[in-house]
Amino acid sequence: MGESTNSFRALVRDALMLDSLDGPAEVSRARERGSVGRLVASGSVSLTGLALLVPHLIHLADGGPILGVVLAAVGSLVSLGLLFVGVVLARSGFSTTNVVRISVWNLLGVVVLGSVMVANLLYQGQLGTELREPTFTIANLLALGAAAHVIIGFYDARRVRAEQLAKERQKIAVLNRVIRHNLRNSATVLQGHGDILAESVTDESLVRSAEVISQHAATIGSLAENAKRVIQVYERGPSDVRPRNVTAAVEEVADEAAQSFPEASVTVTVDDDVTGECRADADSGLSLALSELVENAVEHNDSETPSVDISLTADDEWVTLGVHDDGPGIPAHEKTLITGEDELTQLQHGNGLGLWVVKAVADVSGGVLGFEEPEHGGSTVMLRFRRSSSTQ
């Protein structure tokens, strides 16, 4: 029952082009934006459907020619649809303004088509002719007209929302570039002066303070750079996904890590079933994502000789990359934020963006990012990508 209900809701979402049918966060925000106006607007659509449903049901109960029964049945379904749409609108992710916009289109359809029908009835009366069952005929046409105008309203609301989002994205993009640029510049200056202080002063407490300044400046610079990377990956989207040589990427990342972290033991384990070049459909940031995982594994390991192993396994459908370390493990709240089990809030957020870079690459590639906790300690991060048979 639950699966069929979810399938029906998904069908309605696609058919009516709803941004969200009943996502808790979206519903909460939508209701906060104006509950009274929202309920009045969505209720008017439901009331339209209810009012038009009555004459159709009466006609169905009376029976009559088969064509009339078919028209009544279609009109009843359309009226029920309007009734349901009103309920959906109240719970959707549309803003109250757009809900009102859709209800106005519905009202416009009823008023315009209703006025035309009344004028025609008056004209027929002046000619001395009468329309049989005028209530049913008018209700049937109004139902179809109202439904058509509601659909137009959905298109109109989505168009307006798309324009608003485009403007918002442009503003955010500009603001993001400015912030990243200023952060990187300020971090570079702070780190430079911190290094100078650390080399110039002799007091141990001042030396330590200078080192802390340099470390935090480097962290700020890293955050700005990783934020840029995350945005770039999502902006590229699936258009950059193509067959990538995973075997070569693993070897390249391992070699670079061995040079960057000579104190660490970085090894590669390739499954016996993987021979030659192993290719997977992935974003061009594949090597970057793998490097982030290895770098995190080394930098967050308190051991004098951190141990990191990069594994590569594959079957007919998936290529799986694993980064295993013997460190303290990834904090539980970091993993739940990345996997989406918890929402980002002002009080609950990650300490860095390295894993978000990895998640972005997995998302746009249609892959999977997962975490495991080995019994012997440490942590394991898994990246899975669809295996590609193409050699291009």
127 secondary structure, DSSP code: T
32/113 same-domain check: yes
Q: Pairing state of beta strands 307-314 and 379-386?
A: unpaired
Q: Tens of pLDDT along 5-44?
A: 454 444 444 444 444 433 334 444 444 444 788 888 888 8
CB 298 within 8 A of CB 371: no
Q: Which amino acid is at 51?
A: A
d(CA 357, CA 257): 18
**Same structural domain, 254 and 365:** yes
**Contact present, 139 and 118 (Cβ < 8 Å):** no
The mean pLDDT of the chain is 79
Number of structural domains the chain divides into: 2
The span from the CA of 51 to the CA of 346, in Å, is: 47
* In a shared domain, residues 264 and 167: no
Distance, in Å, from the CA atom of 210 to the CA atom of 199, rounded to the nearest integer, reads 9
113: pLDDT confidence band, cut at 50, 70 and 90?
confident
> Is 177 part of a structural domain of the chain?
no
pLDDT digits (tens, 9 = 90+) for 337-346: 777 665 554 4
Q: What is the domain extent for residue 371?
A: 238-386
Give residue-wise pLDDT tens across range 56-83: 888 888 887 888 889 889 988 988 988 8
pLDDT digits (tens, 9 = 90+) for 272-320: 888 788 999 999 999 999 998 998 889 888 888 899 999 999 988 999 9
CATH classification of the domain holding 312: 3.30.565.10
Establish if 339 belongs to a structural domain.
yes
| pLDDT tens track for 175-205 | 566 566 666 676 677 777 777 777 777 777 7
Question: Which pLDDT score, from 0 to 100, does residue 68 have?
Answer: 84
Same domain, 129 and 272: no
Report how far residue 307's alpha carbon sits from residue 293's, in angstroms, rounded to the nearest whole number.
13
Q: Is residue 146 part of a domain?
A: yes
Give CA 64 to chain center in angstroms. Answer: 51
Which tens digit of pLDDT belongs to each residue from 379-392? 899 999 999 876 55
Pair (256, 167) in one structural domain: no
Percent with pLDDT over 90 in the chain? 17
